[in-house]
Structure 1
């Protein structure tokens, strides 16, 4: 739900800062997802005057303007037909980013004539759809002043996450009511003068029982003049992400946002006979306002006339009865639909609209006539016309739906249920400020709060407004004999792996456990499907963490990141159960551009191998004893991937992402990925709680270098492992430090062998004996000492 600060202040008298309002909204349970000030992106644009306008020497449709933006005339090439000397408009200087066209201005030659910036249209500044000419400002507009300041665009936009139980906060009046109850200002009374009716409504309206529509209020307004809505209304809709259409439609959108009250307008001249809310008939179809055709069923609530279906009630209207600039008589609808029926219809047809979002959560059933009267007043004010009396048709259930709901509250229950002490008079003040009305020991629930069913709901409202920060922090008592909480070995392993990954410069990501069918099949499929998925992109339980990380990496790269290093510790959901896993993705640049090479270096298989080796070591795996096997499965590049094994157990897979998958996920072909199977890492042996004393060797280590010639089919890891096992008593470490292979020549690997004497200093004979063992161990693999 988005709204501007100025729009909020129509309902709330407050001098609170943007930050204070945002903090209070979040504390009230209306989490603020963002606050955006549109004036910031228009900061470079200023009011300017066109001093002169001459025809471009090389183009008939272009003009060469001399523009004064407060610092003297500048030459600008312009193609707007309304550009002329003496007019004032909006000027963007070189270096300014044009949001509507997605480019940055610079000094450029247009058909051989230098242009220093541009004069802007509404669409280019995202102020409207006008693009036939540049913006024309009044003659008294001050040259050189910030356009955002002059136009009053410094109006922050709040974006809040509304939970499903708060349909009233899909309207700005509901948000203002919560803020007023929380101490941020006071509510401004909204007065709507009743519209004088002229005769009965000639359009018959009926509601069939069981249709899903429980009430339909309508009135005819004759003699309207439809067209563009006024600037103030268009600006408000644009600010919250809606496109202005026409005055009549914009009014309905205004009420949807301001009062959480969806409305609909019909061109009365296009109606055939009366209006009826009923169930759909098999075989009926209609063209909706989104230019899609829908086949209705007997489970759908439809609005129809004698010609057939006009729209899905409460979800989307039809093209056949839509209003246009030629509309002169309009039928205004203010209805109430069963929330469950709306939700099922919307899900069945996969239609998501603002009206559906509000109706399926429950709108206020007690203000139909008040809202249609207020909307009529705005239509008459903007479009003129004369309104008929209101016709209200309802179902047999309507009296039960609108009957007052009374909930009893015992003041002492606030402390026992919420754990916070709130005085009885403060409880009453909070509920009153939220629109509840006291009757004896009970409270009458306002129509805009369909989520209130019992005493616990009232307690929640009191605790929410009083402030959850008043809840005391009290630890739970520990009964005698109950041991303190301890982490399981598997939990400790995940913590070590997470810390080790972060220490290597990787950034932790948390992705969804649910993924799409497409992403799951790309990485080998998934055995578990959801019976009632949240969306099409969350239909299966992931059998790999890589799809989610790949999508996250692609999003970061698309937004300008040059080096993406992500990891995630989570669960894979396999047929045999859940498996704890650490996955990582390296994409983009491993190292920035160097002056010698002139280009950045991408990540390679050895980068991801080094990361996996370090993480396995930190997790307690015996890295020196691991076997390296080529290939890591269908998700990896067949020639640039491998797996670490310990006997029959596979501990990790790593390497370059398969090129087909890299293209499918919009990732570079050099993207490196890895999976470490935490449950496959052998548990460390219990050596007791005491850590052994540090005892460094008393004798100096000795290093010897060996260079071997061997077939390039032999893995370097196998050679290192063979040399390390040549003398386990003396050889402390073996490190590969050089690889050389000339074109068409033999492969040569150079190893550094570290010998650690324990009892006495090594003699030449000892060193010779160890060297012979090393050469012999390498020879078993087919390696020979390089001469």
Structure 2
């Protein structure tokens, strides 16, 4: 499991250096395999605001970008990306900057026009996998300031080996709890306020066999306005080895990493009748979120509605009821799937998901409501 030091210290901040904190975790059975200093290679990247865009006189696919970097000071950079817009802010590598891939940015002439640096994609500065366009920064990013200061980098990332018997530590909360116990400190974020209910909608969940699913909690969210996931949340996911997918999915992944409870979001408009956890029927099939179409084993617990299986319990949801860019209403699931039900199920399909790893090791059976409140 990967966890950033800053996220861990937001829950418990012992008076220990990074190295000593890692040693302490190892001594209590949470072996730290490695420590990676994230962001140390982008110290010279600054935040630039795009003022105007001009056509390049000698190249149809290139643009000349006039960028504000410090008060009224502007510089020109030649860029070939198509996703740039005026008044937006982007990472800028000025001459002399050495990128994580080893390239040193120089002032250069591109098709007859001087370029005083380079606007950067996520992949070029090691902050993601997207290499197709320039990384757009939020409006509150301070023009002319260092990107690492805005993103609160550098940040150390611990790669921790969570043994099968320590499922209680498969989260930021779980690790922080163990660290705090050593010095008898209280966790800083251990209280969570209830969210005020604004709608009266309900959805039927029928658990006919409690031994399969002792707790299946859900919450309805309506009139969701899909926008971009906040950069701070994307950054915490990235440091945990999880890429941003969709704002709703990002929130479920965030809560899972922070508290240890896997969540799943259904598009409410695509559900058909009551939700019922049960064993799969003979020759029952499902198309999963990753596009795989599989025949389900009869000893596998599935989540169903009137149309059939809509998810492999504790492993992966089905594509039929998945959220998308047009989703407005969702049913958010927080279920407790017992270890004895989950053991070996994901592997029987050649799968290993973040959710299945947690349920196989054991999830707190009293965490479901708290996780829904957090989401």
Which band: TM-score by shorter chain? 0.7 to 0.9
- Counterpart Cα distance in 2 of 1:257 and 1:139: 26
- With over 3 angstroms needed to count, the CA separation of the structure-2 counterparts of 1:96 and 1:187, relative to structure 1, is same
- With over 3 angstroms needed to count, the CA separation of the structure-2 counterparts of 1:85 and 1:189, relative to structure 1, is closer
Partner residue of 1:279? 279
- With over 3 angstroms needed to count, the CA separation of the structure-2 counterparts of 1:29 and 1:46, relative to structure 1, is same
- Counterpart Cα distance in 1 of 2:287 and 2:337: 21
- With over 3 angstroms needed to count, the CA separation of the structure-2 counterparts of 1:90 and 1:197, relative to structure 1, is closer
- Counterpart Cα distance in 2 of 1:278 and 1:88: 50
Alignment deviations for residues 311-334 of structure 1 (CA, whole Å, 9 cap, x no partner): 110011111011122222211111
Alignment deviations for residues 649-691 of structure 1 (CA, whole Å, 9 cap, x no partner): xxxxxxxxxxxxxxxxxxxxxxxxxxxxxxxxxxxxxxxxxxx
Does structure 1 conserve the Cα–Cα contact (< 8 Å) formed by 2:261 and 2:367?
A: no
Q: Which shifted more, 229-238 or 158-167?
A: 229-238
Higher relative contact order (CA 8 A, sep 6+): 2
- Aligned residue for 2:352, secondary structure, equals coil
- Counterpart Cα distance in 2 of 1:306 and 1:235: 39
Partner residue of 2:168? 168
- With over 3 angstroms needed to count, the CA separation of the structure-2 counterparts of 1:270 and 1:87, relative to structure 1, is closer
| Offset at residue 95 of structure 1 (A) | 5.7
Aligned residue runs from structure 1 range 95-494, under 5 A? 96-99=97-100, 102=101, 104-107=103-106, 109-127=109-127, 129=130, 131-133=132-134, 135=136, 141=142, 143=144, 145-183=145-183, 186-197=186-197, 202-209=202-209, 212-372=212-372, 374-375=373-374, 378=375
Partner residue of 1:78? 79
Partner residue of 2:20? 20
Alignment deviations for residues 696-723 of structure 1 (CA, whole Å, 9 cap, x no partner): xxxxxxxxxxxxxxxxxxxxxxxxxxxx
- Counterpart Cα distance in 1 of 2:297 and 2:140: 58
Q: Give TM-score, length-normalised by structure 1.
A: 0.44
The question of 1:91 aligning with 2:92 is answered yes
- Counterpart Cα distance in 2 of 1:86 and 1:316: 40
- Counterpart Cα distance in 2 of 1:274 and 1:85: 49
- With over 3 angstroms needed to count, the CA separation of the structure-2 counterparts of 1:114 and 1:11, relative to structure 1, is same
- Counterpart Cα distance in 1 of 2:252 and 2:359: 14
| Offset at residue 251 of structure 1 (A) | 1.7
Partner residue of 1:515? none
Cα root mean square deviation, aligned: 3.0
- With over 3 angstroms needed to count, the CA separation of the structure-2 counterparts of 1:154 and 1:51, relative to structure 1, is same
| Offset at residue 177 of structure 1 (A) | 1.0
Partner residue of 1:390? none
Does structure 2 conserve the Cα–Cα contact (< 8 Å) formed by 1:95 and 1:105?
A: yes
- Counterpart Cα distance in 1 of 2:363 and 2:147: 39
- What runs of 5+ residues in structure 2 fail to find an aligned partner? none
| Offset at residue 156 of structure 1 (A) | 1.9
Alignment deviations for residues 615-650 of structure 1 (CA, whole Å, 9 cap, x no partner): xxxxxxxxxxxxxxxxxxxxxxxxxxxxxxxxxxxx
- Counterpart Cα distance in 2 of 1:324 and 1:48: 32
Does structure 2 conserve the Cα–Cα contact (< 8 Å) formed by 1:273 and 1:305?
A: yes
- Aligned residue for 1:187, secondary structure, equals coil
Does structure 2 conserve the Cα–Cα contact (< 8 Å) formed by 1:15 and 1:185?
A: no
- Counterpart Cα distance in 2 of 1:187 and 1:323: 34
Partner residue of 2:38? 38
| Offset at residue 169 of structure 1 (A) | 0.9
- Aligned residue for 1:168, secondary structure, equals helix
- With over 3 angstroms needed to count, the CA separation of the structure-2 counterparts of 1:271 and 1:51, relative to structure 1, is closer
- Counterpart Cα distance in 1 of 2:138 and 2:132: 15
- Counterpart Cα distance in 2 of 1:130 and 1:137: 18
| Offset at residue 350 of structure 1 (A) | 1.1
- Aligned residue for 1:156, secondary structure, equals strand
| Offset at residue 266 of structure 1 (A) | 0.8
| Offset at residue 80 of structure 1 (A) | 3.7
- Aligned residue for 1:165, secondary structure, equals coil
| Offset at residue 213 of structure 1 (A) | 2.6
Equivalent residues, number: 371
Aligned residue runs from structure 1 range 730-741, under 5 A? none
- Aligned residue for 1:236, secondary structure, equals helix
| Offset at residue 149 of structure 1 (A) | 1.9
- Counterpart Cα distance in 2 of 1:189 and 1:265: 25
Aligned residue runs from structure 1 range 612-761, under 5 A? none
Alignment deviations for residues 52-76 of structure 1 (CA, whole Å, 9 cap, x no partner): 7543121123123466767x87653
Aligned residue runs from structure 1 range 531-550, under 5 A? none
Partner residue of 1:5? 5
- Counterpart Cα distance in 2 of 1:17 and 1:323: 42
- With over 3 angstroms needed to count, the CA separation of the structure-2 counterparts of 1:40 and 1:189, relative to structure 1, is closer
Does structure 2 conserve the Cα–Cα contact (< 8 Å) formed by 1:89 and 1:136?
A: yes
| Offset at residue 268 of structure 1 (A) | 1.1
Does structure 2 conserve the Cα–Cα contact (< 8 Å) formed by 1:227 and 1:325?
A: no
Does structure 2 conserve the Cα–Cα contact (< 8 Å) formed by 1:303 and 1:309?
A: yes
- With over 3 angstroms needed to count, the CA separation of the structure-2 counterparts of 1:103 and 1:61, relative to structure 1, is farther
| Offset at residue 105 of structure 1 (A) | 4.3
- With over 3 angstroms needed to count, the CA separation of the structure-2 counterparts of 1:230 and 1:349, relative to structure 1, is same
- With over 3 angstroms needed to count, the CA separation of the structure-2 counterparts of 1:117 and 1:218, relative to structure 1, is same
- With over 3 angstroms needed to count, the CA separation of the structure-2 counterparts of 1:274 and 1:158, relative to structure 1, is same
Larger radius of gyration between Structure 1 and Structure 2: 1
Q: Give TM-score, length-normalised by structure 2.
A: 0.87
- Counterpart Cα distance in 1 of 2:48 and 2:351: 45
| Offset at residue 5 of structure 1 (A) | 2.1
- Counterpart Cα distance in 1 of 2:199 and 2:192: 21
- With over 3 angstroms needed to count, the CA separation of the structure-2 counterparts of 1:307 and 1:80, relative to structure 1, is same
